[in-house]
Amino acid sequence: MDPDDIDDMDFDLPQELISPASPHTRSTSSSNSSSIPAPTAPSFLSSAHLPPASDAAMREIAKSWTVIYPINMSSTGKQHRKLALAQCPTRTPSALYIAECVRFLGLPAAFEPEKRHPADPLVFGRVRVQIRDPVTHQPLNPNVRTKRHLVKEVARYYPGIEMKMNEQDPRMPAMAAASRSEASSV
> Taking phi first (over 0 means left), then psi (-120 to 50 degrees means alpha), and beta for anything else, what does residue 106 get?
left
Sequential pLDDT tens for the chain (186 residues)? 555 555 555 555 555 655 444 444 444 444 444 443 333 333 334 333 445 555 777 888 888 999 999 888 877 777 776 776 677 777 788 899 999 999 999 999 999 988 988 888 888 999 999 999 999 999 999 999 999 999 999 999 999 999 999 999 999 888 888 877 655 544
What is the pLDDT, as a whole number, of residue 7? Answer: 57
State CA 64 to chain mean position distance.
16
pTM: 0.65
Of 118, 122, 54, the C-alpha closest to 94 is 122
State CA 62 to chain mean position distance.
14
What is the pLDDT, as a whole number, of residue 146? Answer: 93
Confirm whether 56 is domain-assigned. Answer: no
Q: How far apart are CA 105 and CA 146, in angstroms?
A: 14
Domain boundaries, position 157: 61-175
Confirm whether 41 is domain-assigned. Answer: no
The partner residues of 126 in beta bridges, in order of sequence, read 112
How far lies 15's CA from each of 6, 18, 22, 129, in Å?
A: 21, 10, 21, 45
Confirm whether 116 is domain-assigned. Answer: yes
Confirm whether 36 is domain-assigned. Answer: no
- Spatial contact of 144 and 150, defined as CB atoms under 8 Å apart: yes
Of 49, 12, 17, the C-alpha closest to 175 is 49
How many structural domains is the chain composed of?
A: 1
Confirm whether 115 is domain-assigned. Answer: yes
Q: Phi, psi (5° rounding) for residue 47? A: -90, -40
Confirm whether 161 is domain-assigned. Answer: yes
Q: How far apart are CA 94 and CA 78, in angstroms?
A: 17
We report the CATH number of the domain holding residue 70 as: 3.30.56.30
Confirm whether 82 is domain-assigned. Answer: yes
Confirm whether 7 is domain-assigned. Answer: no
What is the pLDDT, as a whole number, of residue 35? Answer: 41
How far lies 21's CA from each of 24, 25, 52, 170, in Å?
A: 9, 13, 18, 25
- Which residues of 59-162 form beta strands (DSSP E)? 66-68, 109-117, 120-129
What is the pLDDT, as a whole number, of residue 40? Answer: 38
